């Protein structure tokens, strides 16, 4: 028996229309902000990108052998790492700053559980080569906030942090590299028990234990005075001046599995939903240029939105006994830029009514009687 592989999601009919509405809304917003669309390869050389990821993420990559070169290939685990390689290869031909967006799937071999997929639909935006980091941080943060609003995500907030805080703590507290990996894992998973155990066993400063609970407004910043939080202070001050004071919160416990982040990081959260729907941040070292961006999880947004896509009636359904006449009429209508489907076999009257209603045709045309019937009147009578 043929089975669909675990971890993929099939969109069709109204569900596909809803997904396309989400993607088109995102595309429209990015293009109005003058970002340019790019299509990236679906697979890449594993050795070229593996250093950008933690060991856990490397283990989740789909890997296979290139029979020509003998090298290991991987399905793209994220878009940014591939984009960074492209930027480095084409750097001399690019006029910075470069504003880029993409829409496509990434692949991770996650453990299968409810709501978790291995083929993940994403849309992202990257601002590369902006000389003023503060301006670029603000532009991207505002875009993230406004896009969540445009999509109709209720009670959505941008959760803002910085990886520099954790790096600064590790440096001042003198945490070993092996322990840094463990602590990041516990912070990411909000595993307070394991975090507390390693801090007490190694006699590390208890500021680390505070991080997961330091979530709120600017008043929490006083808890980490003396550490590197300057980027958060600048960004949140600017957001306040623009009237976004109620659209963000600060989370000083944000860390990243992806190793390339260098400054501001943020997540998009919706109240009552168990996972973030947007994530991003700054990654200046990855591309050899100052860069910041974010990615949206389209599958998660799909689950959250209750968008009713009203199908507009369009096109012709042509039926009748003379197949040559059907083909001639189809050609005639296609030349007029109409949508056309011709009968693939006889349908009873009840089957015909059910079929044209299901497909959303605007007209039905009987080639034998040369009769055209508009279905818009039936729709308007409802």
* Residue 186 counted as an annotated binding residue: no
Terminal CA-to-CA distance of the chain, rounded, Å? 43
Query: Exposed, middle or buried: residue 166 (CB in 10 Å: 0-12, 13-18, 19+)?
Result: buried
Which DSSP helix (H) or strand (E) runs through 165? helix 163-173
What is the per-residue DSSP string for 286-317? TTTS-EEEEEEEHHHHHHH-----PPPP-SEE
Consult the annotation and say whether 78 binds a ligand. Answer: yes
Residue 57 · residue 122 · CB < 8 Å: no
How far is Cα 366 from Cα 361, in angstroms, rounded to an integer?
A: 14
DSSP string of 239-287?
Answer: HHHTT-TTSEEEETT---SBTT--SEEEEEEETT-SS-SEEEEE-TTTT
Beta bridge partners of 55: none
256 is in an annotated binding site: yes
CA 83 – CA 36 distance, rounded (Å): 13
The answer to whether 80 is annotated as binding is yes
108 annotated to a ligand binding site? yes
Query: Do residues 284 and 291 touch, judged by C-beta distance below 8 A?
Result: yes
Residue 260 assigned to a binding site: yes
**CA-CA distance, 302 to 286, in Å (whole number)?**
30
Using only the alpha carbons of the chain, give its radius of gyration. Answer: 26
Is the dihedral angle over the CA atoms 266, 270, 274, 277 positive or is it negative?
Answer: negative
Residue in 105, 106, 120, 125 with CA at minimum distance from that of residue 27: 125
Residue 282 annotated as lining a ligand binding site: no
Residue 287 annotated as lining a ligand binding site: no
Buried b (16+ CB within 10 A) or exposed e, 314-345: eebbbbbeeeeebeebbeebeeeeeebebbee
Q: CA 151, CA 140: separation in Å to the nearest integer?
A: 16
Binding site residue list for L-histidine: 78-80, 108, 126, 256, 260-261
Annotated binding site: 78-80, 108, 126, 256, 260-261
């Amino acid at each position: 028996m043929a089975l669909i592989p675990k971890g993929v999601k099939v969109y069709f009919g109204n569900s596909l229309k809803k997904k396309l509405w989400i993607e088109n809304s995102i595309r429209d917003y990015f293009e109005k902000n003058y970002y340019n669309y790019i299509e990236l390869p679906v697979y890449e050389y594993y050795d070229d990108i593996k250093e950008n990821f933690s060991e856990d993420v490397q283990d989740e990559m789909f890997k296979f052998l290139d029979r020509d070169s003998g090298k290991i290939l991987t399905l793209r685990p994220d878009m940014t790492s591939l984009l960074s390689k492209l930027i480095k290869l084409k750097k001399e031909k690019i006029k910075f700053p470069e504003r880029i967006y993409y829409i496509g799937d990434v692949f991770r071999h996650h453990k299968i559980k409810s709501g978790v997929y291995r083929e993940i639909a994403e849309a992202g935006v990257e601002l590369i080569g902006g000389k003023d980091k503060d301006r670029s941080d603000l532009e991207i943060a505002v875009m993230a906030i406004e896009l969540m609003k445009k999509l109709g995500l209720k009670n959505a907030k941008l959760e803002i942090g910085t990886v520099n805080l954790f790096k600064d703590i590790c440096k001042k507290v003198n945490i070993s590299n092996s322990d840094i990996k463990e602590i990041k894992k516990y912070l990411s998973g909000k595993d307070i028990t394991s975090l507390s155990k390693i801090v007490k066993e190694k006699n590390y400063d208890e500021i680390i234990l505070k991080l997961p609970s330091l979530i709120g407004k600017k008043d929490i910043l006083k808890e980490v005075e003396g550490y590197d939080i300057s980027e958060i202070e600048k960004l949140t001050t600017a957001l306040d001046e623009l009237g976004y004071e109620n659209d963000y919160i600060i989370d000083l416990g944000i860390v990243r599995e992806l190793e390339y982040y260098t400054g501001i990081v943020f997540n998009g959260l919706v109240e009552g939903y168990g996972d973030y729907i947007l994530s991003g941040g700054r990654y200046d070292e990855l591309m050899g240029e100052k860069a910041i961006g974010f990615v949206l999880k389209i599958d998660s947004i799909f689950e959250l939105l209750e968008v009713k896509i009203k199908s507009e009636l369009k096109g012709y359904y042509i039926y009748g006994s003379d197949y040559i006449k059907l083909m001639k009429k189809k050609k005639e209508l296609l030349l007029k830029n109409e949508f056309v489907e011709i009968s693939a076999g006889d349908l009873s009257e009840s089957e015909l009514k059910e079929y044209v209603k299901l497909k959303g045709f605007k007209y039905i045309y009987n080639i034998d009687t040369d009769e055209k019937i508009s279905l818009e009147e039936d729709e308007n009578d409802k």
